[in-house]
Every structure is written in C-alpha cells, then in structure tokens.
Structure 1
Amino acid sequence: MGQQQKTFQAIEVGDGGDGRWGTYAHALWPEMEGLLTAEGRTPQGAGRVRTLFRAHMPELVPVLDRLAGQLDRPGAEAFLTHAALRPFTQSCTQIGRNGTLLRNYDLPPDQCEGTIASSCFLRPVIGMQDMLWGLLDGMNDAGLAISLTWGGRSVHGGGFAILIVVRYLLETCDTVDEAVARLPSLPIAVPQNLTLVDPVQAVTVFVGPDIPPTVAPDACAANHQHLPVTAEQERALRTQERLRAIRAAGTDDVVAMLKPPLYRSVDEQGSRTLYTARYRPVEGRVTYHWPDESWPQSFGDFTPGSRTVTLARAE
C-alpha cells in the first residue's frame, strides 16, 4: 500500500454574508453542480425542494437565501437545499461516550471537500463541511456534537441529504433530546446513522426514508442498522467487525482508530479512512487525527490554514 496525501483546509465563514463563504463556494461550484439531480435543474423541481426546505427547516431559510445570493449561479439555491442531490454513501465508524464523540470518516479522497469550517449562521458551529455547507460531523456552542455514517441499505426516497440535517440540528438544538425530538419531522433521503453527544448523554439513531427514527442499542455505529448484515456486505464493509472494535476501544483510544480494522486502506470503490475526529463539545474542542499528525481546533482558538496529510504509510 503506497502513500496517498490529501490537503485539508480550515476556514472561517462568519454568517455567510461577508464574501468569505462565497469565495469558497465559487471555487468549488464547477465540481459541485454536477451533483445536482435532473429534477433540481428544472423550475418545478427547484420550487419543490425550496418548498420542502421552508416547511422543514424554516429557521435556516434566511441563511439559505443569503448563501444562494452569495453563490449566484443557476441551480445554486436548489443545490443548497440538499433535497436535490445525487445520493452518496460513506463507510464510517463512530462512538459517543462520556461527553466525547469519536469517529473515522471513510470515502474516496477526491469526493470529500476536506474543509473544517467555523461558522456563525445562526450560532457558533465548527465541523467538517461538505457539499458547501452541510456537515459530516460537528459541534455547537451549547455542547452538542453529531456525526454520521451510512446505514448500509440501498434505499432512496424524497428528502434531505443527511449533511444538511446535521447542520440543521447543530444550528437549532442545544441538547441530544432536542435533536432527537426534531428527527421525526425531517424527511431523509438515504438510510443513515447519527451519533449525538452532549454533556450528559450519548445516543445513536437510525434514520432513513423507509423507517421512523430508531434509537440504537448503544451510542455507536458502523454501516448497518437494525436489519441482519449479509455475508456479502460484511466482506465488503467489515461493518460488524468495526462496530465490535470501536465498542472495545471506547472514546479515549485514538490510536485504535488509526489502525485496522477501524482505519481502512483503499477498498474496491477507492474508499479509505480520510480522518479521525475526536470532539469534546462541552469544552468546545475538536482534534482531527491522521497517522502522522493531528490538528486541534476550538471555539476559543480556531486557526485557519491548510495541511497536507499522509493518509496511509507505505508498506
């Protein structure tokens, strides 16, 4: 296995209205617009997803308007609703315990923006941003942290990409209980697992277009939900093996996250572990880890910049 590198950046975007977010989004738009569905490119489809967004995420409508105005491209508003995006899947592992959220994020490197964003759209939020303002994982100033994994089932329905759901929950909720109570009102396009942590509790919730939000037996997840895992799925994803490993590791063992089976080298689809994130939301701190380095960020000391990291050592 040879070395592969990826550049991650950390940016501050404020409330999205002063041009910093717009500069970032304009640079990425040529590769983003291809992810918009055919329906999202029509006036009728764009109207439908805006209506869906207004109905289910009304608090974020002013932010949507502000960001769409900054981007100012055909299809931008429909894209930013995250209700007209092509479905995608990720092979990730995560656990919440004792006020800490620990997760590995796995995807082909060229499909992840690799942007740590500090924003204040409705409140202070720090997280790994994707699809221009969605979040793969993040925390807010109230001490709530959330991360996602794919639920492992090939089902797709009308609704939001999970990235904007994570953003919405962190922008509007203070606690795990508040966030879990919001989930039944949010249509979600693809089966996903959310792990949520606040200062007093941690839970994992299974969500998807064909199931009601379902609290998992414990606050950890890989890439399956409550249904049996087929032998083929286990061979491809090693989801049950990773779940056992992260349960054993807990939230303090970052070293275990950087070794197999939790740390994954390239699979048949080109997916691999891109980063490990350890959130301590009550302290307002997160540290991103790779095999050879780490990058701490916090609300009190957020450092913009970029780092090119090695994803795997040569063998």
Structure 2
Amino acid sequence: MDLWWRAISEDRPGPKWAALFEELWPAYRTWWLREGEDARPTYRESLRALETHMPEILPLYEELCALAGGGDLAARFLSLYRPPPYLSGCSQAIWPGREPVLVRNYDYDPRSFEGIVLHTGWQGRTVMGTSDGLWGLVDGVNDAGLAVSLTFGGRRVVGDGFGVPLILRYVLQTCTTAEEAGRALVRIPTHMSYNVTVLDRKRNFLTALMAPDRATLLTHAAVATNHQERVEWDAHARMTATVERERFLLQRLTLHVEPEDKFISAFLRRPIYSTAFDRGFGTLYTAVYRPRLGEMELRWPRATWPLTLNAFAEGARRIVMPEPQPHAS
C-alpha cells in the first residue's frame, strides 16, 4: 500500500489552500452529509459557536470560507462544529530528556487521510502540523515552542462541540504555553472524547481528557492512548490494545532510562505500531516534535522526513506501508 504525502507552505490563505479545498472538498462533502444535511448545524449555529468559543480565529475562518467560494455547506463544514462522529487509534508520549520531545503514532483509515503537512503563517503565527479538515490539525507545533497532539478517548458519546482538529488549530494559533493551552482546552467544547497532550518550550506539559458530556480534566500524564481514566468501551479497547500500549509506554518511561532514539524507535514496533489498515487503525506515521527547536520529524519503518518551522521545504514523498498482518493490533 502506497501513501502519498505532501508538504505545503503558505503564509496567508491563498491559492495553495484554495486548490487544496477544490481537490478535497468532494470527499469531505460526502462525509459531512453522510447522515443527511439536516443532521449538521446550520451556518448561523456554526458561526455563533465560533463567535462564542473561538472568536480570535473568526477572521481566519471567514477568509477561508471566501476562498472556498462562500457556499453555505462549505462554510458549515469549515466550522467543524458538530461534525459526523469518527474514530481513530493513536498513541502519544513525552520523552523527558535534556531536549524533551512529544512522540505520537497516528492510527487511522488511510482512505480518509489527507497526507498533508501544512505550514502556515496565518494571523502572524507560524504553525506546522499534520492537516485534517483542511485547516484543522491532529498534531503540530508553533513558533512559540508549543507542540500538541491528540488521541481518541475511547468513548461512544457524541455531543455538542467542535471536531478536535479545529481545537488543536485554535490552540496553536492563540496559545504560547502549556498553561494557556490547558485553559483553552477546558473551555472549548468537543463533540467526542479525546486526549490532548501539550508540551511547551520550558518543558511544561499536560494531557487534557476532553469529553462532550463531562468537564475536561487536566492531568500530568506523559502517556495517552485510547481510553481516559478507565476503559469505558471494551470492544474498542480490545481491538486497539489501548491498555497494552499504555502499559508498554509507561514501562519504558519509568522502569529504565533509554536514549531518545531508542524510545522513538519503539513507536515503529508492536505493540505501539499497528498494521491493521484494513480495520481503519493502521499506523499511518510516527511524528516527533521538538517544540523548543521548532522541529517536526515524520517516521515510517523505512523512511524519515525532517521538517522545520524556520526552514520549511515543500515537497512530496511516496511512502510504502507494510502489508497488514492477520489480526494485528
């Protein structure tokens, strides 16, 4: 299986982003309407939610809507407010060395993945990360030295809130420290349960356990997989081996000290690395963030792609993914 990646940079929303929208909108439109148009919020509801919870990025949202053609449905989609539910796997951890790093595996369906690293200078803030929802992010870093990443929280509850990729975009656009990010994550509603880990340039970190039906809990956890304080969805936990992955990473962080590269390399092996691509939970990439240095590194079993905030180079990569293994997790 081949996975194509692109690295795209644009200081202000313009023709590159508009071309991405034109390319990806048909698939996103199908996904957005899969439960019917009436199941999605109106434009007025979406705009009001953004005005209430993320007013700082409202001008950016309006600029993107204009580039997308100004249509009602596209504007509703770009708000990422109360989107259709979706599931992922993922593991993430903070290696607390001399130069702390945030490492994560993104486990998801390759057929629903953009494969884009987006580098932007929107609203005067430089941000680099893995794109989702055309302007949201599933992980990323900003020029203030703040890195952030998400994992699915392992709960079926769907509620009134935003898709978490837009929440991560908001954090990176408006926050400079883990403390500021924590306040934003507590305040902004999410439509499903997610664990969001944040690391700043001063080595401060936190993991926010977000949910649509209960208050966000800020923790000092250095590891997050696909449950929160306890397993609440047994079938999903078994299928994704969330407890086993959490235990494996915690042991590597607490039972013995190992070099950074050895810790990162563990993300490319079982039980952290998954080849369950046919079930939508295969590891599409490993990302390594060094927020103080403004560095992002993508890794696969046979390839590495380093990227930096200050010397970002556009390009494309063809990644050959490993064959799925029977009953792999």
Fold agreement, TM-score > 0.5: yes
2:109 corresponding residue in structure 1: 108
Matched residue of 1:240: which SS?
helix
1:213 partner letter: T
Matched, 1:53 2:56: no
Matched, 1:26 2:22: yes
Matched residue of 1:33: which SS?
helix
Range with greater deviation from structure 2 (247-256 or 271-280): 247-256
2:92 corresponding residue in structure 1: 94
Cα distance in 2 between the residues matched to 1:254 and 1:313: 22
Cα distance per residue 1:77-113 (max 9 Å; x no partner): 1111100421111100001243311000001111110
Give the direction of change, closer, same or farther, for the CA distance of 1:314–1:205 in structure 2 (3 Å limit): closer
Give the direction of change, closer, same or farther, for the CA distance of 1:44–1:277 in structure 2 (3 Å limit): closer
Matched, 1:78 2:76: yes
Cα distance in 2 between the residues matched to 1:290 and 1:195: 22
Matched residue of 1:83: which SS?
coil
2:246 partner letter: L
Please tell me the root mean square deviation across aligned C-alpha atoms, in Å: 2.0
Kept in 2: contact 1:39–1:46 (CA 8 A): no
Cα distance in 2 between the residues matched to 1:157 and 1:177: 26
Matched residue of 1:26: which SS?
helix
Matched, 1:236 2:232: no
1:5 partner letter: D
| 1:74 Cα deviation after fit | 4.0
Aligned counterpart for 2:272 among listed residues 245, 258, 262 = 262
Matched, 1:64 2:61: yes
Kept in 2: contact 1:39–1:84 (CA 8 A): no
2:132 corresponding residue in structure 1: 130
Matched, 1:224 2:220: no
Kept in 1: contact 2:227–2:237 (CA 8 A): no
| 1:255 Cα deviation after fit | 1.3
| 1:121 Cα deviation after fit | 1.3
Cα distance in 1 between the residues matched to 2:323 and 2:235: 28
Q: How do 1:106-255 residues align onto structure 2 when only pairs under 5 Å count? A: 106-122=107-123, 123-199=125-201, 200-216=203-219, 218-228=221-231, 231-250=234-253, 252=261, 253-255=263-265
Matched, 1:6 2:3: yes
Cα distance in 1 between the residues matched to 2:154 and 2:40: 33
2:300 partner letter: W
Give the direction of change, closer, same or farther, for the CA distance of 1:130–1:44 in structure 2 (3 Å limit): closer
Cα distance in 2 between the residues matched to 1:189 and 1:214: 16
Give the direction of change, closer, same or farther, for the CA distance of 1:233–1:41 in structure 2 (3 Å limit): closer
Matched residue of 1:96: which SS?
strand
Matched residue of 1:295: which SS?
strand
Cα distance in 2 between the residues matched to 1:201 and 1:20: 35
Kept in 2: contact 1:97–1:197 (CA 8 A): no
| 1:246 Cα deviation after fit | 2.0
TM-score by length of 2: 0.89
Matched residue of 1:15: which SS?
coil
Kept in 2: contact 1:97–1:202 (CA 8 A): no
Give the direction of change, closer, same or farther, for the CA distance of 1:233–1:24 in structure 2 (3 Å limit): closer
| 1:231 Cα deviation after fit | 5.0
Structure 1 runs not aligned, ≥5 long: none
Range with greater deviation from structure 2 (154-163 or 77-86): 77-86
Number of residue-to-residue matches in the alignment:
311
Kept in 2: contact 1:49–1:78 (CA 8 A): yes
Cα distance per residue 1:235-290 (max 9 Å; x no partner): 21100111112223456422111010000011662320000000001000010000
